Amino acid sequence: MLNFTFCNPTKILFGKGMIKDIAKEIPKEAKIMITYGGGSVKRNGVLDEVKAALPGYDIDEFAGIEPNPAYETLMRCTEKVRDQKIDFLLAVGGGSVIDGTKFIAAAANFAGEPWDIVKSFGRGVRQALPFGAVLTLPASGSEMNSGAVITRLATKTKLPISNPHLFPKFSVLDPTKTFSLPASQIGNGVVDTFVHITEQYLTYPVMGKVQDRLAEGLLLTLIEEGPQALADPENYDVRANLMWCATLGLNGLISAGVPQDWATHMIGHELTALHGLDHAKTLAIVLPAMLRIRKDDKKQKLLQYAERVWGISRGDEDARMDEAIDKTREFFERMQVKTRLCDYGITAEAIPAVVEQLKAHGMVKLGEKFNVTPEMVEKILGQCL
Amino acid sequence: MLNFTFCNPTKILFGKGMIKDIAKEIPKEAKIMITYGGGSVKRNGVLDEVKAALPGYDIDEFAGIEPNPAYETLMRCTEKVRDQKIDFLLAVGGGSVIDGTKFIAAAANFAGEPWDIVKSFGRGVRQALPFGAVLTLPASGSEMNSGAVITRLATKTKLPISNPHLFPKFSVLDPTKTFSLPASQIGNGVVDTFVHITEQYLTYPVMGKVQDRLAEGLLLTLIEEGPQALADPENYDVRANLMWCATLGLNGLISAGVPQDWATHMIGHELTALHGLDHAKTLAIVLPAMLRIRKDDKKQKLLQYAERVWGISRGDEDARMDEAIDKTREFFERMQVKTRLCDYGITAEAIPAVVEQLKAHGMVKLGEKFNVTPEMVEKILGQCL
CA distance, residue B139 to nearest chain A CA (Å): 15
Burial group, residue B154, by CB count within 10 angstroms (0-12, 13-18, 19+): exposed
Cα nearest neighbour of B22 on chain A: A5
Burial group, residue A55, by CB count within 10 angstroms (0-12, 13-18, 19+): exposed
Question: Per residue in B108-129, pLDDT tens?
Answer: 999 999 999 999 999 999 999 9
Nearest to B7 among A12, A18, A217 (CB): A12
Say yes or no: do domains B11-177 and B183-382 share a fold: no
Give yes or no for A1 touching B (CB within 8 A).
Answer: yes
**Per-residue 3-state assignment (H helix, E strand, C coil) for chain B:** CCCEEEEEEEEEEECCCHHHHHHHHCCCCCEEEEECCCCHHHHCCHHHHHHHCCCCCEEEEECCCCCCCEHHHHHHHHHHHHHCCCCEEEEEECHHHHHHHHHHHHHCCCCCCCHHHHHCCCCCCCCCCCEEEEECCCCCCHHHCCEEEEEEHHHCEEEEEECHHHCCCEEEECHHHHCCCCHHHHHHHHHHHHHHHHHHHCCCCCCCHHHHHHHHHHHHHHHHHHHHHHHCCCCHHHHHHHHHHHHHCCCCCCCCCCCCCCHHHHHHHHHHHHHCCCHHHHHHHHHHHHHHHCCCCCHHHHHHHHHHHHCCCCCCHHHHHHHHHHHHHHHHHHCCCCCCHHHHCCCHHHHHHHHHHHHHCCCCCECCCCCECHHHHHHHHHCCC
Q: CB–CB of A3 and B9 under 8 A?
A: no
CATH number, domain B183-382, options 3.40.720.10, 1.20.1090.10, 2.60.200.20, 1.10.3210.50:
1.20.1090.10
Give yes or no for A235 touching B (CB within 8 A).
Answer: no
Give yes or no for A220 touching B (CB within 8 A).
Answer: yes
Q: CB–CB of B9 and A14 under 8 A?
A: no
ipTM: 0.96
Q: CB–CB of B15 and A3 under 8 A?
A: yes
Q: Edge-to-edge strand order for the sheet containing A31-35?
A: A58-62, A31-35, A88-93, A131-135, A170-173, A4-14, B4-14, B170-173, B131-135, B88-93, B31-35, B58-62
Q: CB–CB of A221 and B208 under 8 A?
A: no
Spatial distance between the Cα atoms of B340 and B16, rounded to a whole number of angstroms: 37
Question: Per residue in A81-97, pLDDT tens?
Answer: 999 999 999 999 999 99
Question: Per residue in B154-193, pLDDT tens?
Answer: 998 889 999 999 999 999 999 999 999 999 999 999 999 9
Domain ranges for chain A: 11-177, 183-382
Mean pLDDT of all residues in A363-370? 97
In single-letter form, the type of residue at position A77 comes to: C
Q: pLDDT tens digits, chain B, 385 residues: what are they?
A: 999 999 999 999 999 999 999 999 999 999 999 999 998 999 999 999 999 999 999 999 999 999 999 999 999 999 999 999 999 999 999 999 999 999 999 999 999 999 999 999 999 999 999 999 999 999 999 999 999 999 999 998 889 999 999 999 999 999 999 999 999 999 999 999 999 999 999 999 999 999 999 999 999 999 999 999 999 999 999 999 999 999 999 999 999 999 999 999 999 999 999 999 999 999 999 999 999 999 999 999 999 999 999 999 999 999 999 999 999 999 999 999 999 999 999 999 999 999 999 999 999 999 999 999 999 999 999 999 9
Q: CB–CB of A209 and B225 under 8 A?
A: yes
Question: Per residue in B283-323, pLDDT tens?
Answer: 999 999 999 999 999 999 999 999 999 999 999 999 999 99
**CA dist B140 → A264, B45, B170, B187 (Å):** 39, 22, 16, 13
On whether the B11-177 domain is CATH 3.40.50.1970, my answer is yes
